[in-house]
Chains A and B, each alone.
Chain A
């Protein structure tokens, strides 16, 4: 079974600064996908970024980028130029390439507060 661990329950960053959220996972599979989702107070879970395990290049999406270390099973999220709207819960998630649908395994989340 896969597990996802987010060791930082809460983090705080000042506006315009950079913050990195940590995520580690455990799996015996070689091909899989990793995701970061954001859940603001509005409750809707929003996809931030996706990484395919067979791609060595780290995924980037505007101010969001990941540091994917496959051997270490680490998948951290870097938010650059933080904005007040980035305040949310951030969840790391894993899905394997087996099966017939993308079942996600989530971590417990990191609550990020962006301050002035």
Chain B
């Protein structure tokens, strides 16, 4: 039990498909994050939600659309993706609500996304 669960584990989709990634945290945290991990590149922060409100959009293309219905669930809706979007997408959560007190983030196992 990781505390942060991501589904699906693997996803293969065409460029015209629409799919969603799901993340659920069972830790009672207030902040949730989406990261993109590509080979030989640092993890890239995509979105941050704090108490269900989006507080960060790191210049992510609009073909990625996040949704945070409550503090425990986070989605990443995908549409019209490009081959360069193939990567491991990691979800994380942390206790932070306010103040940025350096709370460690807890990560899920990620979704390996492949765009055909």
Contacts and interface: CB of A to CB of B under 8 A. Distances in A.
B33 to A, nearest CB: 8
B55 A100 contact: yes
B100 A100 contact: yes
Contacts of A101: 31, 33, 48, 50, 55-56, 94, 96, 100
A43 B109 contact: yes
B84 to A, nearest CB: 18
Contacts of B31: 100-102
B100 A102 contact: yes
B81 interface: no
Nearest to B101: A97
B94 A102 contact: yes
B2 A102 contact: no
Contacts of B90: 45
- Majority secondary structure of chain B interface residues (helix, strand, loop or mixed): loop
A33 to B, nearest CB: 3
B82 interface: no
A106 interface: yes
Interface in B64-101: 88, 90, 92, 94, 96-101
Nearest to A50: B104
A96 interface: yes
Nearest to B108: A44
B43 interface: yes
A82 to B, nearest CB: 23
Interface in A60-116: 91, 95-109
Given A4-B42, A104-B45, 5 more contacts: A47-B106, A100-B97, A100-B98, A104-B43, A108-B41
Q: Please name the 8 residue pairs, one residue from A and one from B, whose CB atoms are nearest each other, closest first.
A: A33-B102, A45-B107, A101-B31, A106-B43, A106-B42, A99-B100, A101-B96, A47-B104
Interface of B: 2, 31, 33, 40-43, 45, 48, 50, 55-56, 88, 90, 92, 94, 96-110, 112
Interface of A: 4, 32-33, 35, 37, 42-47, 50, 52, 91, 95-109
